[in-house]
Amino acid sequence: MSNALAIAAVTATLRDLLNNGIIAHDLGAATGLVTVTSRPPDLVPTGDQEVAQLNLFMYHVTPNSGWRNTALPSRDADGNRLTNAPLALDLHYLLTAYGAGEFVQDILLGYATQLLHEQPALSRSAIRTALGAPPPVSGAALPPALQALAAAELADQVEQIKITPATMSVDEISRLWSAFTVPYRPTVAYTASVVLIESPKSTRSALPVQAASIYAIPFRGPRIEAVVSAAVPPADPQVVAGSTLVIRGSNLASPTTSVRIGDALISGATLTVTDTAIRMPLAAVAGLRAGIQTIQVVQDIPMGEPPVAHRGFESNVAAFVLHPTITPAASGITPTLENGAPVVVDGAGLLSATVTVGFTPDVGRSQRVVLYLYERDAPGTRPARAYSFPAPTDNGIASPAVPATASIAFAVAYVVPGAYLVRVQVDGADSPLAMSAGIYANPAVTLS
């Protein structure tokens, strides 16, 4: 690869190629002394001082589309340099002929374009000749700028530099020369492609691969269609902490099937897997809370020697509701007082109490919990009485270091004495009610 001197080295080589062609064709006999320069057009003398001259001016540089993504990425995730990706550039030139005499500009431009047509690429020998002094002259005899270009390593880059004519419209040429703010002279555009500039910085390379493994895997990802409890009617079909969960779907079986519930990943003998169903006990999943839970089937792909699990297929994300199971108990039953006197409604003194409810699974301090009481055995002459009571702040958890609790004490007040069904809602998930003789019977507490 070339280094940062390559752009100047290409210009110097082209100028040397044109100069040699002028000498070989002895144009001095027809046009007088001819010089070949590589200066900006505004620095080239014109008018009374204009002499026979060819000027090669690089006016534009663009990235080369064929090489711009080679050896990328150049760094790994830790920022270590993996490769020295080459900077691939195309150089755009204007070749302009000058001369005060009649036909001088045309003669010079004709010979120059013929020369570049017959030598459309810069050979390695031509580059070395242009950038180095021929023997017996030493490099010290060269101008300082050319002495520096000898180190460009342009002749050693992997791809030869091609010189191709570029088509420019009259409008494009007009805009360019207007920017130069000098009188227009006959001009031909060329493109030199491609210059490859590479950094000499140290890189990190991997050791050779000793053996390659190829894996052909059919694309048959798992899909979840339903998530239900394994309970069969008349058993309650709601999913609770003690339930066996059944995941129904397609393409569920694989040598590495696992199930992700929330942040937990369950695999191995805990799962009973077929292609259309997966059974698993929820008791095997630690840290679950009542409420909506997400579930996904994951199938890793073992690769390598020894096999290591790689990310493979993942199903759609499904959801199920985990209902809490509860054990209620009433204590501290006293009359409800207002202004020191018992409160009486419909001839019955209202009661206050503490209803302590045990939960499975535990309740988190930030979960929303509400206690509901429903009157049991209400007469048919009136609607059954019903009450609701929110949980205390932070669900009664005093210490910020404690994330969850197994029980909550609810303060109950203004309740008519009697037997009540108890139901609790945790993040929208209701606790189940047990039936007896066709009616809801448990769990229940008696306030009297």
**Per-residue pLDDT tens over the stretch 385-395:** 999 999 999 99
Give the tens place of pLDDT for each residue, 174-185. 999 999 999 999
Range of the domain at 248: 223-323
Q: Is residue 280 part of a domain?
A: yes
Same-domain pairing of 108 and 231: no
Question: Of residues 273 and 199, which shows the higher confidence score?
Answer: 273
Same domain, 338 and 385: yes
Banded model confidence at residue 143, pLDDT cuts 50, 70, 90: low
- Asked whether 322 and 288 are in contact (CB, 8 A), the reply is yes
73-107: pLDDT as tens digits: 788 888 888 888 889 999 999 999 999 888 899 99
DSSP 339-356: TTEE-EETTEE-EEEEEE
Output the pLDDT for position 115.
93
Confidence band, pLDDT 50/70/90 cuts, at residue 339: confident
Tell me if 202 is assigned to some domain. Answer: no
Residue range 355-379: mean pLDDT, rounded: 94
92 and 62 Cβ atoms separated by less than 8 Å = yes
129 Cα distance to chain centroid: 50
Whether residues 40 and 186 fall in one domain: yes
Give the per-residue pLDDT at 70: 85
Structural domains in the chain (count): 3
Quick one: 30 and 160 in the same domain? yes
Q: At which residue do the structure tokens 């082209």 appear?
A: 14
Nearest alpha-carbon partner for 357 in 298, 283, 426: 426
Q: Same domain for 272 and 377?
A: no
161 and 87 in a common domain: yes
d(CA 409, CA 330): 9
In a domain, 211, yes or no: no
Q: Is residue 206 part of a domain?
A: no
Q: 251 with 106, same domain?
A: no
Residue 141 and residue 39 share a domain: yes
Cβ atoms of residues 431 and 326 within 8 Å: yes
* Residue 218 maps to a domain: no
Q: Do 11 and 115 belong together in one domain? A: yes
- What is the reported pLDDT for 137? 46
Residue 422, pLDDT > 90, answer yes
Q: What is the dihedral of CA 37, 38, 42, 46, to 10 degrees?
A: 20
Contacts of 377 (CB under 8 A, 6+ apart): 419
User: Do 299 and 349 belong to one domain?
Assistant: no
In a domain, 214, yes or no: no
Report pLDDT for 178: 93
Q: How many CA atoms lie within 13 A of 264 on its CB side?
A: 13
Shared domain for 19 and 167, answered yes or no, is yes
Indicate whether 172 belongs to any domain: yes
Which residue, of 161, 181, 197, is where some domain finishes?
197
pLDDT score, position 133: 55
Task: Identify the weakest region by mean pLDDT among 4-8, 198-202, 224-228.
Answer: 198-202
Of the pLDDT bands very low, low, confident and very high (cuts 50, 70, 90), residue 249 is very high
- Which of 323, 350, 370 terminates a domain? The answer is 323
pLDDT above 60: residue 318: yes
Q: Do 37 and 144 belong to one domain?
A: yes
Taking the whole predicted model, whether its pTM rises above 0.85 is answered as no
The chain-wide mean pLDDT, for the chain, equals 89
